[in-house]
Structure 1
Amino acid sequence: MTNLFRALVASAFVALVASGCASGPQYKDVASSIPTLKQEQGRIYFYRSGSMFGAALQPSINVNGQTVGKSQAGGFFYVDEPAGQYVVSTATETEKTVSFKLDAGETKYVKTSVGFGLLVGRIIPSLESAEDATKDLDGLHYTGTPTTAASK
């Protein structure tokens, strides 16, 4: 292999991997501009680490069957919802879910992580503590516009 060919292959690989990563302002830059919750609503943050492992896997994240965003490596977004029971799901070759109750004024944190699958990787949602999530959010990039699944 020539050096030029190796350089082209390496550049193509870097571009492919980078296209799977979130871009946008970092959490630390937007945290102060995130609006306060309306009295009857709770907030759900969704986030994924910046690991390159499985970066090309970017399935939709659904809340009670409605798409609210994508699981992107290095990204986060949030939705505000009325108090109630919620099921968050992602699907590649199989569907993975996490269920929880959201109270008015409460904030929940759902982390999506890459797991091994039979044919492709799986994106697995899990409920995380506020303490762990706020540490994880610090270097992540904002990937969406605040939405409400109930309003769709």
Structure 2
Amino acid sequence: MTAPDNGQSRLYVYRTSSIKGAGISFNVNAGNTPIGIIRNGGYLVVDLPPGEHEISAKTEVRRSVTLPFKPNEIQCVKASVGFGAFVGRPKLEAVSLEQCRNEIAGTKASL
């Protein structure tokens, strides 16, 4: 994990490997800005301006978490998949930097 550009905030969105929902991937956005597609065992990283940002994902339903970002700060969101009627539903959870560092180590960049 690396620090953001000076004055920016850095967001890591990651998903640990799991058999549950392994074949499901979903788009992740910061507000209306696409960050990328999160896959099983993957992570995304983006620099954002300081302020409050809604991080969201959608399959058959939309889920989101809103976080306050401070300059030169790193925030982490853990993504996972829950059961849905037709397709798995995204779950997003803000986690501590310590938990993120421990869990993101086993993931690869989602391209």
Q: Same fold (TM over 0.5)?
A: yes
1:62-113 Cα offsets, whole Å, 9 max, x none, are 1102111112101112101110110011111110000011000110001101
The 5 Å alignment of 1:50-65 reads 50-65=17-32
SS at match of 2:54: strand
Which is strand-richer, 1 or 2? 2
1:10-63 Cα offsets, whole Å, 9 max, x none, are xxxxxxxxxxxxxxxxxxxxx5xx4x4222101000100111221221110011
Structure with bigger gyration radius: 1
| 1:98 alignment partner, one of 65, 89, 99 | 65
Corresponding position of 2:107: 140
- Runs ≥4 in structure 1, deviation > 3 angstroms? none
Amino acid across the alignment from 1:142: A
SS at match of 2:17: coil
Unaligned residue ranges in structure 2 (runs of 5+): none
Corresponding position of 2:55: 88
Q: What is the percent sequence identity of the aligned residues? A: 31
Amino acid across the alignment from 1:100: L
C-alpha distance in 2 between matches for 1:92 and 1:39? 34
Which is helix-richer, 1 or 2? 1
1:101-146 Cα offsets, whole Å, 9 max, x none, are 10001100011011111221101111011111111011111224xx
Corresponding position of 2:13: 46
Corresponding position of 2:87: 120
Q: Structure 2-normalised TM-score?
A: 0.93
Higher relative CO (Cα under 8 Å, sequence separation at least 6) belongs to: 2
Amino acid across the alignment from 1:117: G
Q: Structure 1-normalised TM-score?
A: 0.69
Unaligned residue ranges in structure 1 (runs of 5+): 1-30, 145-152
Corresponding position of 1:37: 4
May I ask how many residue pairs the two structures share in their alignment? 111
C-alpha distance in 1 between matches for 2:4 and 2:63? 28
Q: Does 1:110 align with 2:101?
A: no
Amino acid across the alignment from 1:74: G
CA RMSD of aligned residues (A): 1.2
